[in-house]
Structure 1
Amino acid sequence: MAEQQKKSTIGLMVLAILFVALNLRPAISSIGPMLEPIRADLDLSNSEVSLLTAVPVFCMGLFAPLAVLFGRKFGLKRSIAMLLVAIGLFTLIRGFVPTYPVLLASAFFIGLAIAIISPLLSAMIKRDFPMRTAALIGVYSFGMGLGATLSAGLTGVFYTVADWPLAIASWSLLSVAAIIIWVRVKQPAEVKVEETAIDGVALVSPWKNKRAWYMLLFFGFQSAFFFSMLTWLAPIAIEKGMTVLAAGGVLTLMTAVQIVGNISIPLMFNKFPSRLAWILIVLAFGTVGIFLLMFGNVEAIWIAAACIGVALGGLFPIALLMPLDETTSADEANSWTAMTQSGGYIISAFMPLTIGIIYDATGNHDITLLLFLAFIVLMVIFSLLLNKKG
């Protein structure tokens, strides 16, 4: 009976992590399909409307260090619950007050909430599943990928039966579902001891550790690779001769392969634990994908998208696991994760814009593809440095 209750508790916790992760992308990725209706309806410039997706990503980097303060002040479970409420409310308000200032303010506060919740969720996985961190990080990254894919694909469908404010506000329902499940999660008995004890403990700052900086840079370039591909793969495919519809299919294929990789690759970590080997394998797929974009024909773009999806599907959970592999406690994992995501997301926030500026100046994506190769080379370098202990 006790064993059955334990399995039920673990199952509920896994489901809760999945639903929390589902909430970490839709408020951002649902804006993309609605950029043109929003721009036209509110009479905005392209730069003004682009801030609605740029601001939350930048906030995800800028405010990640606040996760340490939230974890110590309110505890992990309560902090995540409060932040889920914030994401839901600021997503919902877009449907009732669809003005540009409100959209921009909601983008800011949603980005802030996501910035704080992400390291807290990693810390909770480290604390409650110390022997299953890889599998649970897989669930976490799968949930994020699934949330982004669903919102990017279905927001346009919602728009066909309603207006754009309702289409983007509808994703607040996900937070309601997550909160209902999250408040039912039971915490281990030792949690209160740990969370009160850490108030007086002075941990060594990861900002003074070179390995933490390698992780930050690895996270930054894998995130830059993801956001740049998400933004520019379809335009690259169109430049190579694809129709707009086919280019959208290529992007869908990439994200579909990615979310399968998010859940399946971490499940193999227990049998094949070498992080460096996995990084080199998935980056090899990414390299093949980029070379196909450079030198392949139009049909090869589909294979390129699948290869890049494999790379993205493996890189994100590996980047999430790095601070957890390095640390021994939930509070320490929270600090390291906050640092890596802080600097990492700030790096990635500027990359799609940088590519856009280069494209405006050159009129082609040759330099874009070279930048993607540079991201891969840098990730190889930092993973090799991390493989050296000490």
Structure 2
Amino acid sequence: MRSRSTQLLLIAAIFMVTLNLRPAITSIGPMLDIIRDDLSLSNTQVSLLTVIPVICMGVFAMLAPVLNKAIGLNKTMYFMLLLLAAATGIRFFVASFNVLLATAFVAGITIAVMGPLLSALIKQYFPKHVAVVVGIYSFGMGMGATLSTGLTGVLYEAAGSSYTTALAVWAILAVVGIIAWTFTAIHPIEVKQVAKQPVQTGVNPWRSAKAWSFLVFFGLQSALFFSVLTFLVPIATANGMTLLKAGTLLSMMTIVQIFMNIGFPVILQKFNSRTPALVTILVLGILSVGLMWTADPLWFAIGVLIMGIPLGGLFPICLLMPMDATETADETNSWTAMMQTGGFIIGGILPLLIASLYDYTANHQVTLFVFLLLFVAMLVLALQIGRSAGKARS
């Protein structure tokens, strides 16, 4: 049993690690056009720098329980943070598409492994405060994404128009994560393994209809998150908004998202059922798309701000789903890894499909319609998951 002070150290370490779960990907976004022009790439090629790590986050998520059992949580976390620091830092030295692609690939693997392990850790060490710590987890992740999205352009200018410097500087967060983990690892940290009786000790997530519904839901919210971040500015400028105003609006939306990252799990802690709150934010998401569909700049801006509510609330509730459905930290690790395996693959592929639709139609009303379909599909799934959870409790 860890003391209160060591628990606080662990929470701080979790926060510092979660800061690293997005910048290696999201820092690329503001530099896409600059990288494309500098390296003479096509739009399809340059988009792979953000698509590949997201798909890797899905393909390699199942490495988390494997590495945890093979070398333990501490060594796995150190190794992943070191890999992430190296992959991000090497961008400073080489301006090459192949190197950027390789570093994106490695970053995706490290994020894929760390995410499920952190979820299992929270389940094991904070069983009575899961929602609050998940809020800190998602807040850290959202903060990392927001900082890297907002500051990479500033760093680019400060570094004398050097995108390699602007991309590589985020390796500092991984180094800070290693230092934070070193302080808390003085006290033993591990995710306990279930003895080798998988049939008796837990449900195999790959054979569970509920786990598959979690996977699809997570995939849809991932697709929505990455699609909105990719296409919001183009949609706004297509509506007549200047690039500066569109960027400011995106920043304001991410602020709403960050508040939801940490506030929504705290609200969920007060309710026995997650379903009503989940349905509410999904309905707000549908409303936001409707407001964005209008040509009126004010209603569009209000719709974008409302969009920050589901974008910030959906990820933490996805993290809570396998925690609610499992009994042990090892089970949580397996269910979360399975959910993220398929979910991030969906999240990486759908934005590419949206881009293809836009290339074909040249109409962002179609993009908004896809957003609407994603919200409606998640609403149907949320109601189904809620009914199955109700039956399980009765």
Q: TM-score range by the shorter chain?
A: over 0.9
1:200 aligns with 2:199: no
The 3 A distance-change label for structure 1 pair 306 and 125 is same
Identity %: 47
CA distance in 2 between counterparts of 1:225 and 1:263 reads 19
In the alignment, which residue of structure 2 is the partner of 1:268?
A: 267
* 2:74 and 2:185 in contact (8 A); partners too: no
Cα deviation for residue 296 of structure 1 reads 5.2
CA distance in 2 between counterparts of 1:285 and 1:273 reads 21
Secondary structure (helix, strand or coil) at the match of 2:51 reads helix
* Alignment deviations for residues 294-313 of structure 1 (CA, whole Å, 9 cap, x no partner): 13511112211111101111
Q: 2:141 aligns with which of 141, 144, 148?
A: 144
Secondary structure (helix, strand or coil) at the match of 2:297 reads coil
Q: 2:4 aligns with which of 1, 7, 12?
A: 7
CA distance in 2 between counterparts of 1:296 and 1:278 reads 30
User: RMSD of the alignment, in Å?
Assistant: 1.7
Paired amino acid for 1:360? D
Cα deviation for residue 91 of structure 1 reads 0.4
Q: Return structure 1 stretches of 4+ with deviation > 4 angstroms.
A: 186-189
* 1:56 and 1:110 in contact (8 A); partners too: yes
- Matches for 1:171-250 after TM superposition, within 5 Å: 171-186=170-185, 195=192, 198=194, 200-202=196-198, 203-250=202-249
In the alignment, which residue of structure 1 is the partner of 2:81?
A: 84
* 1:128 and 1:188 in contact (8 A); partners too: no
* 1:9 and 1:186 in contact (8 A); partners too: no
The 3 A distance-change label for structure 1 pair 215 and 188 is farther
Cα deviation for residue 243 of structure 1 reads 1.2
* 2:239 and 2:295 in contact (8 A); partners too: no
Q: 1:157 aligns with which of 149, 154, 158?
A: 154
Paired amino acid for 1:230? L
CA distance in 2 between counterparts of 1:368 and 1:235 reads 10
Q: TM-score, normalised by structure 1?
A: 0.94
Deviates more, 1:267-276 or 1:142-151: 267-276
Q: 1:126 aligns with which of 123, 130, 136?
A: 123
Paired amino acid for 2:251? T
CA distance in 2 between counterparts of 1:260 and 1:116 reads 26
* 1:34 and 1:164 in contact (8 A); partners too: yes
CA distance in 1 between counterparts of 2:315 and 2:180 reads 25
CA distance in 1 between counterparts of 2:294 and 2:166 reads 39
In the alignment, which residue of structure 2 is the partner of 1:286?
A: 285
1:32 aligns with 2:32: no
Cα deviation for residue 204 of structure 1 reads 3.6
CA distance in 2 between counterparts of 1:296 and 1:39 reads 31
1:63 aligns with 2:63: no
Paired amino acid for 2:105? F
1:322 aligns with 2:321: yes
Deviates more, 1:37-46 or 1:90-99: 37-46
Paired amino acid for 2:143? L
* 1:250 and 1:301 in contact (8 A); partners too: no
CA distance in 1 between counterparts of 2:60 and 2:233 reads 30
Cα deviation for residue 364 of structure 1 reads 0.9
CA distance in 2 between counterparts of 1:133 and 1:78 reads 24
* 1:18 and 1:139 in contact (8 A); partners too: yes
Cα deviation for residue 22 of structure 1 reads 0.2
Paired amino acid for 1:243? T
CA distance in 1 between counterparts of 2:120 and 2:225 reads 23
In the alignment, which residue of structure 1 is the partner of 2:336?
A: 337
Q: TM-score, normalised by structure 2?
A: 0.94
* 1:67 and 1:117 in contact (8 A); partners too: yes
Paired amino acid for 2:82? V
How many corresponding residue pairs?
384
In the alignment, which residue of structure 2 is the partner of 1:73?
A: 70
Paired amino acid for 1:14? I
* Alignment deviations for residues 251-289 of structure 1 (CA, whole Å, 9 cap, x no partner): 111111101100011111222342101111111211111
Paired amino acid for 1:107? A
1:353 aligns with 2:349: no
Where do 5+ consecutive residues of structure 1 fail to align? none
Cα deviation for residue 34 of structure 1 reads 1.2
- Matches for 1:13-28 after TM superposition, within 5 Å: 13-28=10-25
CA distance in 1 between counterparts of 2:195 and 2:85 reads 30
Cα deviation for residue 187 of structure 1 reads 7.6
* 2:279 and 2:383 in contact (8 A); partners too: no
